[in-house]
Amino acid sequence: MQCFKFIKVMMFLFNLLIFLCGAALLAVGIWVSVDGPSFLKVFGSLSSSAMQFVNVGYFLIAAGVVLFILGFLGCYGAHSENKCALMLFFSILLLIFIAEIAGAVVALVYTTMAEQLLTRLVVPAIEKDYGYQSDFTQVWNSTMEGLHCCGFNNYTDFNASRFVKENKVFPPYCCANPGNHTLEEQCTEDKAKSMKVQGCFKEILHKVRANAVTVGGVAIGVAALELAAMVVSMYLYCNLK
């Protein structure tokens, strides 16, 4: 009985933390989406770097909602000993866990397939929105500047874009000097071809592989927490009358 009470209290406290984190993410996501400029003022001199976060407001909202619901179900189920809430908590967490495993398998085993799938989604968006949809353009400019890359695959992603057709130039990041990364303002197709700047997808893969130990450790830690939460919720479920 003492063990059951201890696990119940720990389950409540753990999910209270998740609930509060979800609420915080939800609040920040709404703030970023509704009033991005005010959000950036908080960063002061870091505002230019923080600008990329304005474009992930909806992601923060989605993550906040999921954590908010999970935390609520866990707290409510543990406190009121409600089997339905505990089973919902277990089921949602299990779905998230399976989705993460599936994503990891695709990323590790089917990298080429993932690249082809993303190419079909990202390249048309670049051709249509780059230079004309402000948030989308800011995300890509921040990515290309930070990773010293060009496009998703390479400069050819911009060949059929509205930006190149109307401005007759490529984004300056496609003509960056490989030594000091200085930009060519008049980036023509010939210059972009000669510079051979890598695509952002390959650069991201390179960064992930270079930090494989850290990424793997974080992933294992998150998976362990999820498994522990599922085990505890099922233990409580099975020991409730």
pLDDT in tens, 84-140: 888 999 998 899 888 888 877 776 776 667 677 777 888 888 888 888 888 788 888
Q: Which residues of the chain have pLDDT under 70?
A: 1, 35-57, 107, 110-112, 114, 179-181, 184-185, 212, 215, 241
DSSP string, the chain: -HHHHHHHHHHHHHHHHHHHHHHHHHHHHHHHHH-HHHHHHTTGGGHHHHGGGGGGHHHHHHHHHHHHHHHHHHHHHHHHT-HHHHHHHHHHHHHHHHHHHHHHHHHHH-HHHHHHHHHHHHHHHHHHHTTTSHHHHHHHHHHHHHHT--SSSSGGGGTT-HHHHHHSSB-GGGG--TTT----SSB-HHHHHHHTPPPHHHHHHHHHHHTHHHHHHHHHHHHHHHHHHHHHHHHHHHH--
The verdict on pTM exceeding 0.85 is: no
Per-residue pLDDT at 207: 77
Per-residue pLDDT at 181: 66
